């Protein structure tokens, strides 16, 4: 069989860190992080620390300047990041933190890297339970994208198609945290907050989901929050 | 109906210039060019001149550093660009100028922009006749990608899906040149050569296909070639 390789999309958040922990049990992992012009670089520093923690064989940071396209509060200064209402409201509508075609772009580039390093798997930490508002986190999308990738890449046409793995797709945030805890994910190194302050804001949608997840899992969140 | 908008992927080559000419007959056009770390910037200058010529409503240059991923002679210095053998050989194998998942990435970002500017169409100048070696220039891929995009984007899920238009897909290079000529494409502004010299090299696969296309169409190529 030889070495089995996997590319893991690593954002620096706890989902992708858990995904990397899972993949690194069975594969030589090659991490890929996107610097897509979001308002801060805290996530990228987190990704570097996490990749180092799990001894990734390689870790690439790829700049894709999504701010040129705009349309999201995560990349455009003129759109304020909405505070979460209650956790129950999250997932009812497509939030303004939606970045158009983000996972499609990231999966495309992940496929490209998987071809280049000879990986058989491409891991993405997408999950549709807490983030059901994002159309590109749903299994229907992932399956359709898999099909497109099989038809549109060299390995898909001439070799063994690269399989997209979404081990967290059906897990709640609390379940992901429990799994991450089992696998020894260094939660203190992960960064979730949409803002880039010294401490996490504790108020944005991402912080709210994270905090609720840790509470539900009965695990302490080691990250420091404002007040 | 209001204004009908289209995003056009514009590389600076003659295919995408012809595509822009076609789209601008019926749509307010928003051009999108990728600066993907290929070895020269001649194409990007060409794209700017072509977008201006057709009075595009907007023209964005988006940096996506595919050299970080590698795997192609177009982005990696260590892989020499293969000289074409004969034109007949082109299309038999996947050439080393194949950039992994390039059209998948570019279509994803095109979809993102189409959402942001409110476009109903996304034009790409892919063609499968002369470039049959590239898996991501085939109609099977484009159709599968369309399906994935419908499932993975906000407009696909909540509104009217953005339709990918490939008006050149079944045309030969000579037919594209004839059509471009009818539409007044400024061929002298287009850049096709894989290399970035002062004049086009006339020897690489892209130059060879272009030259053969002009010959077959019975039209003079206004671009200057080395000796």
- The tens digit of pLDDT for each residue in A88-102 reads 444 455 666 667 788
Count CB atoms within 10 A of the CB of residue B224: 10
Q: How many angstroms separate the most distant Cα atoms in chain A?
A: 56
Q: What is the pLDDT of residues B50-61, one digit of tens each?
A: 999 999 999 999
DSSP string, B188-223: GG----SS-SSSB-S-BHHHHHHHHHHHHHT----S
Indicate yes or no: CB of A61 within 8 angstroms of CB of B70. Answer: no
Contacts of A108 in chain B (CB under 8 A): 101, 104-105, 108
Please state, rounded to an integer, the average pLDDT across all residues of chain A: 87
B23 to chain A, minimum CA–CA distance in Å?
20
**Among residues B34, B31, B36, which one has the least CA distance to residue B8?**
B31
- Write down the domain spans for chain B: 5-217
User: How many residue pairs from chains A and B have C-beta atoms closer than 8 A?
Assistant: 157
**What does the pLDDT read at residue A76?**
60
Residue contact A104–B152, C-beta within 8 A = yes
Quote the pLDDT of residue B39. 59
Confidence band, pLDDT 50/70/90 cuts, at residue B89: very low
Residues of chain A with C-beta less than 8 angstroms from the C-beta of B147: 144, 147-148
| Contact of B13 with B125, CB cutoff 8 Å | yes
Mean per-residue pLDDT, A9-32: 97
Stretch among A175-184, B15-24, B34-43 having the lowest mean pLDDT: B34-43
**Planar angle of CA B34, B124, A7, nearest 5 degrees:** 55
Mode of pairing for the β-strands spanning B28-35 and B163-165: unpaired
- Listed in order, strand segments (DSSP E) in B50-180 are 58-63, 121-123, 163-165
Fold of A5-217: Rossmann fold (3.40.50)
Residue position matching structure tokens 């804001």: A201
Q: Which residues of B touch A (CB under 8 A)?
A: 60-66, 68-71, 94, 98-105, 108-109, 111-113, 115-116, 135-136, 138, 140-141, 144-145, 147-154, 156-158
Sheet of B163-165, strands arranged across: B58-63, B28-35, B5-9, B121-123, B163-165
Please compute the mean of the pLDDT values over residues B126-141 and round it to a whole number. 80
Mean pLDDT value of segment A75-96: 55
pLDDT at residue A18 in the model:
98
Dump pLDDT digits (tens) for A172-213.
999 999 999 999 999 999 999 988 888 999 998 889 999 999
Judging contacts by C-beta atoms under 8 Å, the chain A residues touching residue B65 are 62-64
pTM of this structure: 0.89
Q: Cβ contacts of residue B74 below 8 Å, gap of 6+?
A: B38, B39, B81, B97, B99, B194
Under the phi-then-psi rule, with left for phi > 0, alpha for psi from -120 to 50, and beta for the rest, what region is A28? beta
Are β-strands A163-165 and A28-35 bridged in parallel, bridged antiparallel, or unpaired?
A: unpaired
Q: Please tell me whether residue B115 adopts helix, strand or coil conformation.
A: helix
Q: Which residues of A touch B96 (CB under 8 A)?
A: none
* pLDDT score at B198: 86
Rg (CA), chain A: 17
Q: Is the interface score ipTM higher than 0.95? A: no
pLDDT at A41: 80
Tokens of B18: 């012809």
Interface test mutation site (partner A, options B109, B116, B131, B133, max chain A beta carbons within 10 A): B109
pLDDT digits (tens, 9 = 90+) for A116-170: 999 999 999 998 776 657 888 889 999 999 999 999 888 777 778 999 999 999 9
Of chain A, the percentage scoring pLDDT greater than 70 comes to: 85
> Cβ–Cβ contacts within 10 Å for residue A188, how many?
11
In A, which residues are within 8 Å of B156 by CB distance?
A: 135
> Would you state the pLDDT for residue A97?
66
Residue to substitute from B7, B69, B119, interface A, most A β-carbons within 10 A: B69
For A138, the closest chain B residue by CA position comes to B152
Q: Which of A108, A146, A157 to mutate to test the interface with B (most CBs of B within 10 A)?
A: A108
Cβ within 8 Å, pair A112-B94: no
| Preferred mutation among B65, B73, B104 to probe A, highest tally of A CBs within 10 A | B104
Q: Tell which wins on pLDDT, A135 or B29.
A: B29
List the one residue out of B184, B179, B160 whose CA is nearest residue B168: B179
């Amino acid at each position: 069989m030889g070495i089995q390789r996997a590319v893991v999309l690593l954002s620096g958040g706890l989902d992708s860190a858990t995904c990397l922990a899972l993949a690194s049990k069975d594969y030589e992992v090659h991490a890929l992080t996107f610097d897509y012009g979001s308002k801060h670089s805290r996530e990228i520093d987190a990704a570097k620390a996490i990749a180092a923690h799990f001894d990734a064989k390689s870790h690439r940071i790829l700049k894709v300047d999504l701010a040129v396209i705009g349309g999201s509060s995560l990349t455009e200064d003129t759109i304020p990041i909405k505070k979460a209402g209650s956790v129950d409201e999250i997932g009812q509508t497509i939030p303004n933190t939606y970045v158009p075609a983000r996972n499609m772009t990231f999966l495309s580039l992940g496929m490209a890297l998987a071809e280049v390093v000879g990986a058989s798997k491409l891991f993405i930490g997408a999950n549709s339970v807490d983030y059901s508002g994002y159309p590109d986190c749903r299994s229907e999308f992932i399956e359709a994208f898999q099909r497109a990738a099989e038809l549109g890449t060299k390995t898909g046409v001439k070799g063994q198609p690269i399989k997209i793995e979404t081990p967290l797709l059906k897990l709640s945030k609390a379940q992901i945290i429990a799994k991450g805890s089992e696998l020894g994910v260094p939660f203190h190194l992960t960064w979730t907050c949409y803002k880039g302050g010294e401490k996490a804001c504790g108020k944005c949608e991402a912080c709210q989901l994270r905090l609720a997840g840790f509470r539900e899992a009965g695990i302490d969140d080691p990250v420091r929050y404002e007040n």
